[in-house]
A = this chain, B = another copy of it.
Amino acid sequence: MATSNARPSRPRAQLKTPKGTRDWVGWDLLLRDHIFQTVTDVFKRHGGIPLDTPAFELKDVLAEKYGEDSRLIYDLEDQGGELCSLRYDLTVPFARWLAMRTDVQHIKRYQIAKVYRRDQPAISRCRLREFYQCDFDIAGVYDPMIPDAEILRIIVEVFRGLQLDITIKLNHRRILDGSFAVAGVPEEKNRLISSAVDKLDKATWIDVKKEMVEEKGLSGEVADRIGEYVRRSGGLREMINLLQSDPRLDANESVKAGLDDMGLLVSYLEVLDVVDKVSFDLSLARGLDYYSGLIYEVVPASTNSLGQIGSIAAGGRYDGLVGMYGKHPIPCVGLSFGIDRIFTILDARRNKSSSELTREVDVYIVAAGGKEYDGLLLDRMAVARQLWDAGIRAEFTAKVKPKLPPQFNASKDVPLAVILGQDELAAGQVRLKNARAGDKETDQKDRDQLVSREDLVEEVKKLFPAVARERE
């Protein structure tokens, strides 16, 4: 404040990104692109169609969709005109789009984009206020659990592509609601109790019970009966049998309907080679209001080196959401990948030998010479033009008369160097130096050769056959 009083007309801006946000640069972004590419390939393999919605929506569109979490929504300032908020997830914008597009009765859509939450940031646990989500949803009237099974199959394919071992925790909203009813929870407290139960992956049962009784007004007995149910987990078939053998649960219509779904699901997951990755976990509740059927969360199979990183993908069925916007109800099931958490896991196992800012260049063009050396700038430019025209990645030092050491320094991460000298140029030649061949026992010729200007592109492509194929 003192500073801005002293120079009121020009307060110097604080040099930081806003709380809970960060910059990404260089190799980090290339790794993130690799994740996006892997995920997108799987989405397309399943017939996915891309969608991109604005970063902000009308405030009303987001209203009453997120329960307690609505307080985390970023609003835009009222500068005249419409009231808008930054999107909180990609599901509600998708539902809004679907509700607008009355010509679309079914779609598999995917979207990869940033979302915004005014949560308490915790960078070490990858909880940021701006983060990527990456969603795949199947909308349409289909037979029960077929799209749900495909979503779980997609999870398995994505993490197989990323070479990451995972467990999918499953539950069903109707089984959860039904068992709450059997335990004696009043219906209007279902969502409150759900959100307490959902904390069981991070908190102890003692704490969760305390929250139910002291904050949410449940009796201790009812809480204990909930505890009996929700602390169970195991394989799908095993858990279905266990729940069906409980006469109180089996008598509840909601539980029964959920168990019918789970029975279908297990037969599909067996055929799709997914069942081994799945755990039926009755404590899984998912905080969001709009889920209506199957719900799931993905956690790494081993978290030893990374501590509690939380779920790396999650989703569920939400049959009522699109209908909230009008006369075009359409059942949906979907999935969201937590890209930043997946990034953190893959980043931890990356080889960190090159610097964050290393660029991917194929050729560095170097000027060398004796007393009458003038920097050969136009010659370096002419060679660069020749290489760029052929799609080869090339750089040179943007100085008229650069010395040799800074040029070699700038070329040190670059596999090939083209070295220009006055005499060679006069003879129509340049020197091609292969840094990669340096450590192996190769011909002198492979490491360092004189080539004519006309053959240069050809020679470079010989050394990068893949590059040449890809970029032509």
Q: Which residues of A contact B (CB under 8 A)?
A: 10-19, 21-26, 29-30, 33, 41, 44-58, 60-61, 63-64, 74-79, 81-82, 84, 86, 96-97, 99-100, 104, 107-109, 114, 116, 118, 130, 138, 140, 142-143, 146-147, 149-150, 153, 157, 267-268, 271-273, 325-326, 357, 359-361, 377-378, 381-382, 384-385, 388-389, 391-395, 398-400, 471
The residues of B that contact A394 with a CB separation of less than 8 Å are 45-46
In the complex, what distance in Å separates the CA atom of A68 from the CA atom of B79? 16
In the complex, what distance in Å separates the CA atom of A400 from the CA atom of B141? 12
Q: Are A97 and B142 in contact (CB under 8 A)?
A: no
The residues of B that contact A378 with a CB separation of less than 8 Å are 267-268, 271
The residues of B that contact A76 with a CB separation of less than 8 Å are 74-77, 86
In the complex, what distance in Å separates the CA atom of A79 from the CA atom of B138? 35
Q: A19-B82, A50-B25 are in contact. Are A41 and B385 (CB under 8 A)?
A: no
In the complex, what distance in Å separates the CA atom of A272 from the CA atom of B399? 16
Q: Are B77 and A45 in contact (CB under 8 A)?
A: no
Q: Which of B58, B357, B391 sits near A107, CB closer than 8 Å?
A: B357
Q: Which of B18, B96, B268 sits near A15, CB closer than 8 Å?
A: B96
Q: Are B51 and A24 in contact (CB under 8 A)?
A: yes
In the complex, what distance in Å separates the CA atom of A435 from the CA atom of B79? 55
How many identical subunits does the complex contain? 2
The residues of B that contact A75 with a CB separation of less than 8 Å are 76-77, 79
Q: A18-B54, A78-B77, A359-B108 are in contact. Are A143 and B398 (CB under 8 A)?
A: yes
Q: A74-B79, A130-B54, A392-B45 are in contact. Are A18 and B271 (CB under 8 A)?
A: no
Q: Are A357 and B47 in contact (CB under 8 A)?
A: no
In the complex, what distance in Å separates the CA atom of A276 from the CA atom of B55? 40
The residues of B that contact A17 with a CB separation of less than 8 Å are 53-54, 57-58
Q: Are A13 and B60 in contact (CB under 8 A)?
A: yes
Q: A79-B74, A382-B271 are in contact. Are A395 and B18 (CB under 8 A)?
A: no
Q: Are B385 and A273 in contact (CB under 8 A)?
A: yes
The residues of B that contact A53 with a CB separation of less than 8 Å are 17, 23-24
Q: Which of B25, B55, B61, B471 sits near A49, CB closer than 8 Å?
A: B25
In the complex, what distance in Å separates the CA atom of A268 from the CA atom of B53? 43
Q: A23-B53, A143-B400 are in contact. Are A60 and B18 (CB under 8 A)?
A: no
Q: Are A19 and B271 in contact (CB under 8 A)?
A: no
The residues of B that contact A29 with a CB separation of less than 8 Å are 50-52
In the complex, what distance in Å separates the CA atom of A302 from the CA atom of B439? 53
Q: Are B140 and A325 in contact (CB under 8 A)?
A: no
Within the complex, what minimum Cβ distance (angstroms) separates A453 from chain B? Answer: 14
- A-B pairs, 6 with minimum CB distance: A142-B398, A21-B54, A13-B60, A146-B398, A24-B52, A75-B77
Which of A13, A15, A138 neighbours the largest number of chain B CB atoms within 10 Å of its CB? A13
Q: Are A41 and B100 in contact (CB under 8 A)?
A: no
The residues of B that contact A25 with a CB separation of less than 8 Å are 49-52, 97, 109
The residues of B that contact A142 with a CB separation of less than 8 Å are 398-399
In the complex, what distance in Å separates the CA atom of A58 from the CA atom of B96? 30
Q: Which of B16, B47, B398 sits near A138, CB closer than 8 Å?
A: B398
Q: Which of B24, B44, B78 sits near A393, CB closer than 8 Å?
A: B44
Q: Are A22 and B54 in contact (CB under 8 A)?
A: yes
In the complex, what distance in Å separates the CA atom of A78 from the CA atom of B77? 7
In the complex, what distance in Å separates the CA atom of A50 from the CA atom of B395? 16
